[in-house]
Amino acid sequence: MIVRDSERAIMDAIREGNTLAFQQVFNANFQALCQYGFTILRDPDEAQDIVQAMFLKLWEKRNELDIKQSVRSYLFRAVYHQCMNHLEHRSVKEKHKVYHTYEKQTETQQPEIFPLELEDNITAAINGLPEQCRLIFMMSRYDEMRYAEIADKLKISINTVENQISKALKILRLKLKEI
Amino acid sequence: MKNKNHITISDELIVKYLAGDAGPEEAEALHDWLSIPGNEIYFREFQNTWDTTLPAEKPSMMTTEAAWEIFSRGAVKQNPPSSGFSRTSLFKIAASILIVLTCGIAGYLFFSDQPSDVLVVVTTNEHAKTVHLPDSSVVVLHRRTSISYPENFGKQIREVTFSGEGYFRVQGNPDIPFVIHTSAADVRVVGTVFNVFAGNDRLDVSVEEGKVVLVSKTDSTLLQTGQAGSTRLGDPGIDVSDFIDINNWGYATNKFSFNDAPLTEVIRQFEKAFPYRIEIQNKDIKNCKLTATFDQVSAREILNLIGETLDLTVQENDSTFRIEGKGCPWDQ
């Protein structure tokens, strides 16, 4: 449904320094990129800072950029890479911390820690999930493990991780609706 | 449910996205899919459940407009004014440039001496286009449609000038009503989803969700969910009906629902929504009736499904589909 014929024209206008064309691109993509960055970083402020920085880079480097696909695809890729960099920095910092609960927990494959503020009905619903489903969901949601890390840890395929987390969320959606 | 990168938007992908594991192509495909209005509701259900399992984390995002303010300020700070992105030069540039975005979509700037009079105009020719307004409202413009709004749209006023046909999803904001000016009458809304057809002397509005006020020179009326209103230039009143046909904005939602509809009506709606012509080889085919619902299916898939249902063959040639077969003769 989204027409992209105008992509090249917009990029050309931006290269020529057209701020209104640039603002159109900003308006059309800002929220989506922030939301995307947030899913990776779990921190709205960091996500917004990264997205702002990517737009600034796009504006400053508008003459040098060789964007083969659309500006939108370029921005999604830029935000992704920047967020992944950010995560790496974070995990380096984490390693310097004295103690990390998750290491200990996952050795026995029992990541049992719910965040304190979670209501009982929600923890009950999660505990009611089929065992593998629950385990994988909690590793993703509360230990912030990436799909590949979970797959690696449990010696299962990424596909299985995808299916199980999706299954968990569908079950939870139904259960939490009843409450 | 496939997009240009051939990424299928499955439940697994939606959840993967929420879990922060979607790659950039997947995320882009998902957001493209989300810009089709009905899909967002489906996505929100997953998102709400996901958020419920960790309530402390709920994201609070600033509005695009506030972000733009910060952005343009930041760009000034890091860029000497000579390189182009200060607020003052922004207006100068705006007032001195005429951008024409080719290939079916044209964007123009009109200007007078006041910076706030700078208008952004988006016009479509043969293809529909999604326009994101600064207040996060979204309009899907149908073919041969034009919308214009001031460059500072959303700050104190939300007013657009409009002609043609468009599917509006207006961001709620009780403080600043959203007004659509057309040549026949005005539409005032607070936050809602509706379709507008604005001809030279005619205005039709169908409300899918929420409330809309239709204001002509001599009359005004409130339209609610499921109602349609229509007025003509020169007519004293406004006609209201309790029937809306969602197929009329299939061009924006990619959703169609037919209940014992003659095939001629089905074809009319498809030709409106998709850039294809549909030819019928045999007039008995026109007698066929169809009951079906299509959601996010491509024109090709829809026509093939119809072909299978009614035992017709569908041939594709460039941008024309040709439907052949025995059809539905009266005596059967």
Over residues B153-170, the pLDDT tens digits come to: 888 889 999 988 999 999
Tell me if chain B has a CB within 8 Å of the CB of A160.
no
* Residue % of chain B over a pLDDT of 70: 82
For chain B, give the longest Cα–Cα distance: 80
CA-nearest residue to A142 within chain B is B54
Please state which of the ranges A18-32, A98-112, B103-117, B251-265 shows the lowest mean pLDDT.
B103-117
Q: Is the dihedral of CA B13, A76, A151, A97 positive or negative?
A: negative
Exposed/middle/buried for residue A57 (C-beta within 10 Å: 0-12, 13-18, 19+): middle
B120 and A20 within 8 Å at the Cβ level: the answer is: yes
pLDDT confidence of residue A171: 93
Please state which of the ranges A3-7, B107-111, B271-275, B320-324 shows the lowest mean pLDDT.
B107-111
Q: How far is CA B202 from CA A89, B168, B234, B272, in A?
A: 60, 18, 10, 19
Top pLDDT among B38 and A168 is at: A168
pLDDT range class, residue A179, cuts 50, 70, 90:
low
CA-nearest residue to A26 within chain B is B68
B71 and A56 within 8 Å at the Cβ level: the answer is: yes
Over residues B49-63, the pLDDT tens digits come to: 998 888 766 666 677
Tell me if chain A has a CB within 8 Å of the CB of B16.
yes
Tell me if chain B has a CB within 8 Å of the CB of A102.
no
* Residue % of chain A over a pLDDT of 90: 39
Q: What's the mean per-residue pLDDT of chain B?
A: 79
**Residue B141 contacts residue B124 (beta carbons within 8 Å):** yes
pLDDT confidence of residue A6: 64
Q: What's the mean per-residue pLDDT of chain A?
A: 82
**Residue B192 contacts residue B205 (beta carbons within 8 Å):** no
Please tell me the distance in Å from A146's CA to the nearest CA on chain B. 6
**C-beta neighbour count of A113 within 10 angstroms:** 12
Q: How far is CA A148 from CA A24, A41, A160, in A?
A: 36, 16, 11
Tell me if chain A has a CB within 8 Å of the CB of B332.
no
Q: Give the integer Cα–Cα distance in Å for A132 and B141.
A: 47
pLDDT range class, residue B4, cuts 50, 70, 90:
low
pLDDT confidence of residue B166: 94
Question: What predicted TM-score, i.e. pTM, was given to this entire model?
Answer: 0.52
Those of residues 30-49 in A touching chain B at CB distance below 8 A are: 30-32, 34-36, 38-42, 44, 47-48
> Residue A19: its chain B contacts at CB < 8 A?
84-85, 90, 93-94
Q: How far is CA B288 from CA A163, B46, B268, in A?
A: 42, 39, 14
Tell me if chain B has a CB within 8 Å of the CB of A26.
yes
Over residues B123-149, the pLDDT tens digits come to: 887 778 888 898 889 999 998 888 888
Q: Among A87, A14, A90, which residue's Cα sits nearest to residue A55? A: A14
Top pLDDT among B119 and B197 is at: B197
CA-nearest residue to B150 within chain A is A20
Over residues B219-268, the pLDDT tens digits come to: 888 898 999 999 988 888 889 999 999 999 999 988 899 998 988 899 89
pLDDT confidence of residue A43: 87
pLDDT range class, residue B308, cuts 50, 70, 90:
confident
- Between chain A and chain B, how many beta carbons pairs sit less than 8 Å apart? 188
Instruction: Work out the average pLDDT over B297-301.
Output: 82
Instruction: Work out the average pLDDT over A66-78.
Output: 85
